[in-house]
Amino acid sequence: MTNLTGKTALVTGSTSGIGLAVAAELAKAGARIALHSLPGDENADRAVAEIMAAGAPDAQFFGADVSDVGAIQTLMTQVEAFGPVDILVNNAGVQFTAGITDMPEERWDWIIAINLSACFHTMKAVLPGMEKRGFGRVINIASVHGLVASKEKVPYVAAKHGLVGMSKVVALEYANKGDAAKGAITVNCIGPGWTETPLIEDQIRAAADKAGGDREKGVAALLSEKQPSERLTRTADLGALAAFLCSDAAQNITGVTIPVDGGWTAQ
Ligand code: NAD
C-alpha cells in the first residue's frame, strides 16, 4: 500500500469523474489534497467532504478556469500556500466532437488551452519545488487519444498527443534530478479508454439515440467499436494506478504512457 503521509497533491478537475477518484485514492494513502475545478463548481463542498472521508488529513477546494493563464498562476500561488505540491495530477479536460471543417475555431482554442497548455503552466510552476525537496510525481491524464486517433476529435487528439510528447520531454529533463533516497522525480501519463464520466455523456447519448434511446445499448456500441474488453474502465482503476505511480516502487518509471483501455491501443 502506497504511503503518502506528509505529501500534498494537487489534482486538477477533481470534483467529478476520474479526478475525484484519483484524489480519493491519494487521500486513502494519506496525502493532503488540493481539489480543483471551475470557480463556483456546485460539486466542490461534496467533493471536499468525500475526500476527507476517504482519509485525507486535509483537503481544500481551489476554483480556477485553467483556460486562463493568469488564473492558473493565481491558482498555483494559492495551492503552494496550502502546501508545497509534491504530486501534480493534470486531469482537467474537455471534449467537443465534430469533423475538422465543422469544428469551430473557439472549440480548438478551448480544448488546446485546457487539455494541453494548462499542463505546461502547472508543471512549470511545481517542478522547481519538487527538485529542491528531492521528490515529485507528475501524472498527466492523457487518453488512448494520446496514442491513437479517432475521427471527429481533431483538437482533443492533437492536445492528448501533445500532452504525451510534452510529458516525455519533462520526464527526460528531470530523470536524474531530485533525490534518489527520497523517491526522485517522475513524469508519466495515464491513457484511459472509455470511462463512464460526465465527459463522455454526449457521446453516450448520441450512441443511445442511434440504438433507439437505450442507454446500455449505446454504451455497448461505443465499447464494441473500440474497446475489445467490452468493459468500461472504472474511475477507481485509474485512481489505483495513479497511487501506484506515486509509490516508491514506481521511482524508476518515467516518461511512459500507461493505457487502461481494455486492449484498444493493442489493435
Ligand atoms: P469530467 O467532466 O468528470 O471531469 C473534468 C473535470 O475538469 C471537471 O472537474 C471539470 O469541472 C474540470 N474542468 C473542465 N474545464 C475546466 C476549466 N476550464 N477549468 C478548470 N476545470 C475545468 O470528465 P473525466 O472523464 O473525469 O475527465 C478527466 C480527464 O480524463 C480529462 O483530461 C479527459 O480528457 C480524460 N479522459 C477521459 C476519458 C473518459 O472516457 N471519460 C477517457 C480518456 C481520457
Helices (H), the chain: 17-28, 44-54, 69-82, 105-112, 118-133, 154-174, 201-210, 215-226, 235-245
Handedness of CA 163, 185, 17, 77 (dihedral sign): negative
- In three state form, how does the secondary structure of 10-49 look? EECCCCCHHHHHHHHHHHHCCCEEEEEECCCCCCHHHHHH
pLDDT band, residue 229 (cuts 50/70/90)? very high
Domain shared by 126 and 208, yes or no: no
Q: Is residue 101 part of a domain?
A: yes
- 155 and 82 within one domain: yes
Same domain, 111 and 213: no
Cα–ligand 1 centroid distance for 160 (angstroms): 12
Q: Which of 230, 160, 166, 162 is nearest to 199 (CA)?
A: 160
Which pLDDT belongs to residue 101?
A: 98
Does residue 217 share a domain with residue 90? no
Would you tell me how many other CB atoms lie within 10 Å of the CB of residue 213?
Answer: 10
Contact 204, 219 (CB under 8 A): yes
How many domains would you assign to the chain?
2
pTM of the model: 0.98
Q: What is the pLDDT of residue 120?
A: 99
Task: Give the model's pLDDT for residue 266.
Answer: 98
Q: Do the domain assignments include residue 265?
A: no
Whether residues 39 and 108 fall in one domain: yes
> For residues 19 and 252, what is the distance between their CA atoms, to the nearest angstrom?
24
Q: What is the mean pLDDT of residues 162-184?
A: 97
**Does one domain contain both 13 and 24?**
yes
153 pLDDT band, cuts 50/70/90, is very high
Residue 1, domain member (yes or no): no
Range of the domain at 67: 8-193+234-260
Report helix, strand or coil for 187: strand
CATH number, position 34 = 3.40.50.720
Task: Report the C-alpha gap between 41 and 62 in whole angstroms.
Answer: 10
Q: What is the pLDDT of residue 1?
A: 77
Is residue 84 located within the same domain as residue 163?
yes
Please indicate, yes or no, whether residues 121 and 210 belong to a single structural domain of this protein: no
Residues marked active site are found at 156
To test ligand 1's pocket by mutation, which of 11, 37, 204 has the most ligand atoms within 8 angstroms of CB? Answer: 37
User: 29 and 114 share a domain?
Assistant: yes
The Cα angle at residue 139 between residues 35 and 171, in degrees rounded to 5: 140
Four-residue CA torsion sign, 161, 12, 239, 185:
positive
Average pLDDT of the chain, as a whole number: 97
Residue 260 pairs with which residues in a beta bridge? 192
112 and 133 inside one domain = yes
Residue 183: which pLDDT band, with cuts at 50, 70 and 90?
very high
pLDDT tens string 196-213: 999 999 999 999 999 999
Same domain assignment for residues 215 and 83: no
**Confidence label for 118 from pLDDT (cuts 50, 70 and 90):** very high
Long-range residue pairs from 225-229, CB within 8 A, at least 24 positions apart, any chain: 226/144, 226/150, 226/193, 226/194, 226/264, 227/193, 227/194, 227/261, 227/262, 227/263, 227/264, 228/262, 228/263, 228/264, 228/266, 228/267, 229/262, 229/263
- Residue pLDDT, tens place only, 101-116: 999 999 999 999 999 9
Measured from the Cβ of residue 178, the count of other Cβ atoms closer than 10 Å reads 21
Q: Which tens digit of pLDDT belongs to each residue from 57-95?
A: 999 999 999 999 999 999 999 999 999 999 999 999 999
Q: Is 224 exposed, middle or buried (0-12, 13-18, 19+ CB in 10 A)?
A: exposed
Pocket of ligand 1 (CB under 6 A): 13, 15-19, 37-38, 41, 65-67, 91-94, 114-115, 141, 143, 192, 194-195, 197-200
Residue 226: per-residue pLDDT: 96
Q: Do residues 226 and 101 both lie within one domain?
A: no
